[in-house]
Structures are given as C-alpha cells and as structure tokens.
Amino acid sequence: MNISFGVYATPPSTLWKDIRKGPPLEAVREHLDRVVNFRRLCEIARRAEVR
C-alpha cells in the first residue's frame, strides 16, 4: 500500500507573492489527517486486501 504524504495544493497564480503564501489551510489539514491517522489508514487498507 502506498500512501502519499504530500500537501496537495496549487497556488492561485504563478506570482511569487501567491506562491509564498503556501498551501491553503484546508490542504494542510488534509495532510495532517493523513500523517496523524497513518496507522489507522494502513489497518483499513490491510483489511480491504484480505477480503
């Protein structure tokens, strides 16, 4: 099972000021959810493979 831990976000434009702002808060929250719940997600995936 391959779980990606990247923060998936695209800046609204290619202007440096928009890029420097970083990803939106929602993208960071999704990233943290994947990192914090890694063990639980692995267990769910493992159960799905067994079926």
**Residue 2, pLDDT above cutoff 70:** no
* Residue for token pair 């067994």: 50
The answer to pTM > 0.75 is no
Q: Where are the alpha helices (DSSP H) in the chain?
A: 16-20, 25-36, 38-50
**Residue 51, pLDDT above cutoff 70:** no
Question: For a pLDDT cut of 90, what percent of the chain falls above it?
Answer: 12
DSSP 4: -
Q: Is the Cα dihedral 24, 28, 31, 37 positive or negative?
A: negative
